A and B are shown apart, each in its own frame.
Chain A
Amino acid sequence: AQSVTQLGSHVSVSEGALVLLRCNYSSSVPPYLFWYVQYPNQGLQLLLKYTTGATLVKGINGFEAEFKKSETSFHLTKPSAHMSDAAEYFCAVSDPYSSASKIIFGSGTRLSIRP
């Protein structure tokens, strides 16, 4: 079975500071990995995804994540936080070999930005 663990239910950073949201996965096969963002009272929006190929993936809004197989990690980073980045962030995993594969979400990390 696949799963993701997000370390830290709440992260607070100052505007302009580095954002680092941690995600570790568990999977018996090479996984597909995703980061989704959820703004208050809205749906889930894809930030970025890793399927195959380059392990450093860039997403929208200046975010990027690196797939590290040796560490089973897929941490999300952004060099300089902006007030508009305040939201809930979900790491997610799916099995690329499973028909109609569902995506399994982590418990989420709420990102707050201090002025």
Chain B
Amino acid sequence: EPEVTQTPSHQVTQMGQEVILRCVPISNHLYFYWYRQILGQKVEFLVSFYNNEISEKSEIFDDQFSVERPDGSNFTLKIRSTKLEDSAMYFCASRDRVVGELFFGEGSRLTVL
């Protein structure tokens, strides 16, 4: 069964360092998303991406964040200068139609020290 894959599963970084989280969405999907879940809290929307541009972003997705689909298969989330409060589980998701359920990856746990 097709699935969304994310790497790395866990990354530990120092505050101020750049981090890139990678995702491979399901191959025929056209809409891509990043969500964040701080430990013990709700799953929060960060950004949606379609047709090689951001469709919508939340107030969390500030200038420190960026997304890219560099090669038609990968979908990346970059955090330019990590802060302690960026420590969270980051989930990538994709869908094949404008509406419908999202298919989620297993997540990338980011720990900022």
Contact = CB atoms under 8 A, between A and B. Distances in A.
A77 interface: no
A34 B42 contact: no
A51 B100 CA distance: 8
Contacts of A104: 45
Nearest to B3: A43
Q: Chain B, interface size: which category?
A: 20 to 34
Interface residues of A, number: 23
A102 B56 contact: yes
Interface string B91-113: 10100001111111111000000
A45 interface: yes
Interface stretch (A12-20, A68-76, A79-87, A92-100): A92-100
A20 B92 CA distance: 29
Contacts of B33: 102-103
A90 interface: yes
Contact of B43 (A42, A44, A94, A101): A44
Interface of A: 32, 34, 36, 42-46, 49, 51, 90, 94, 96, 99-108
